[in-house]
Structure 1
Amino acid sequence: MALTAVLMTLALPAQAACYADYKARRDNPLELHYGVAQISEPCTRANAEAQLAARLQRDGWRLLNVLQVFDDGGLDSRRGAAGQFFLRY
């Protein structure tokens, strides 16, 4: 039984990771940042907005907008621009 469960799990297709790049702000003093975050499925802009707004708010940031959602293929090209906010939230 256990072996069957393991084999069935391995047979399932792997889901691609989902990421979003975004802009956020914090007031007093005004700070802006661009970041990249991993998002859980579904990989949609609306879902990314909901997840990021909550994550950012915990540290006093306000989500301005989600620029794009993408898979692993777009991750490396955004690493430098996101700096310290690369996969932070």
Structure 2
Amino acid sequence: MRSLCRMKQLFFTLCVALAVPGLARADCYVEYKAKQDDPLRLHYGISRLPGVTCPPRGEAAEALSGSLAQDGWTLLGVVATSTEEPGQKKRADAGAYYLRY
């Protein structure tokens, strides 16, 4: 009886150990607004931070700022973060800036 209980504990521990890394691999979708100067241009976009759970907005902004800056864009702010893949309306709103950065 004792060994059966021990086996159940080991099985449970193994299941948890296998499940947790899978959860940690969820992508994070970041909705943001950015601008360029001279002439002033604005855009709304959605970016994906692969293989991470969603960080706080400040950390998401840091992760995204560098990619935007390479093309001359300045991040104005992170609108939202989510592990859910954006729906068709949000994809359409982002247009060419859906998963561009």
TM-score relative to the length of structure 2: 0.70
Q: CA deviation at 1:21?
A: 0.3
Structure 2 counterparts to residues 6-85 of structure 1, below 5 A = 11-12=18-19, 13-14=21-22, 15-40=25-50, 41-44=52-55, 45-73=57-85, 75-76=86-87, 77-85=89-97
Higher relative contact order (CA 8 A, sep 6+): 1
> How far apart in 2 are the matches of 1:42 and 1:17?
6
> Please, which runs of 5 or more residues in structure 2 have no aligned partner?
1-17
RMSD: 1.5
> How far apart in 2 are the matches of 1:79 and 1:23?
14
> Please, which runs of 5 or more residues in structure 1 have no aligned partner?
1-10
Runs of 4 or more consecutive aligned structure 1 residues displaced over 6 Å after TM superposition: none
> How far apart in 2 are the matches of 1:47 and 1:19?
13
Q: CA deviation at 1:72?
A: 2.5
Identical residues among aligned pairs (%) = 40
